[in-house]
Amino acid sequence: MSDSSGSVKPDSKSKPKTRRDFLILASGAMGGIGAASFVLPFIDSMNPAADTLAAANIDVDLSPIEVGQAITVMWRGKPLFIRHRTPEEIKLSQEVTENDLLDPESDKDRVKKPEWLIVVGVCTHLGCVPSGQRPSDNKGSYGGWFCPCHGSEYDISGRVRRGPAPTNLPVPPYYFLDETTIRVGQQEA
């Protein structure tokens, strides 16, 4: 800007940079680095250890399970139901329309291979373990599992069909290592 004498006045809104400005900026940056060097290891300490993560995954050999049989294995302290379904069971579970289900989900979305069903065997109502793994067990009206605590019934795909259970039996993360072995606890890389 210039006044009437023609001389240039300094802009009153911009002030020259001083050492104080530099010191404030530098100390703020160092404070941020110090806070990050404290917070990041603290957050990392909340992650499970490598040995704990390794125990969270299990490999299951499916070769001894005959068609029509089911086994129960423990995974993360919960029963895991693994069923080798018959062609009739597969056909029956695929014919169900999603309109007939309390928690709509198709059979193909619950399995990686139609002959193998893998679900967490804990009722989604109050956490009881449903019966239906042994041939002599009550399998309910839909041929899957029956929860003796409050009467929830699941079909051969682990979908809730009747009772107070709000959702289907959960499908854990798993993948096939080969034709007869699965790894439960993580998705395929």
Quickly state the pLDDT bin for 139 (edges 50, 70, 90).
Answer: confident
Mean pLDDT of 130-141: 85
Active-site hit among 150, 166, 167, 188: 150
Same domain, 20 and 74: no
Q: Residue 138 pLDDT more than 90?
A: no
Quickly state the pLDDT bin for 137 (edges 50, 70, 90).
Answer: confident
Torsion sign, CA atoms 140, 141, 145, 149: negative
Same domain, 26 and 90: no
Enumerate residues 6+ apart whose C-beta is below 8 A from 49: none
Same domain, 34 and 120: no
Instruction: Tell me the two tokens of residue 151.
Output: 């009467």
**CATH classification at residue 147:** 2.102.10.10
Q: What per-residue confidence (pLDDT) applies to 115?
A: 94
Q: What per-residue confidence (pLDDT) applies to 54?
A: 58
In contact, 123 and 130? CB cutoff 8 Å: yes
Same domain, 38 and 57: no
Higher-pLDDT residue of 3 and 67 is: 67
pLDDT in tens, 22-73: 888 889 999 989 888 888 888 888 877 766 665 678 899 999 999 989 999 9
d(CA 57, CA 76): 8
Mean pLDDT of 81-105: 90
Same domain, 42 and 90: no
Q: Is residue 4 part of a domain?
A: no
Same domain, 97 and 24: no
Determine whether 150 is an active site residue. yes
Same domain, 84 and 35: no
For residue 33, the enclosing domain spans 16-47
Please choose, from the candidates 173, 175, 172, 157, the residue with its C-alpha nearest in 3D space to the C-alpha of residue 103: 157
Same domain, 86 and 164: yes
| pTM metric for this prediction | 0.69
Instruction: Tell me the two tokens of residue 28.
Output: 């703020």
Enumerate residues 6+ apart whose C-beta is below 8 A from 90: 107, 114, 115
Q: Is residue 9 part of a domain?
A: no
Q: Residue 140 pLDDT more than 80?
A: yes
Same domain, 116 and 97: yes
Helix%, strand%, coil% for the chain, nearest 5: 25, 25, 50
CA–CA distances in Å: residue 66 to residues 17, 77, 84, 94, 104: 80, 25, 7, 21, 29
Q: Residue 133 pLDDT more than 90?
A: no
Number of domains in the chain: 2
Rg (C-alpha) for the chain, rounded Å, is 30
Q: What per-residue confidence (pLDDT) applies to 84?
A: 94
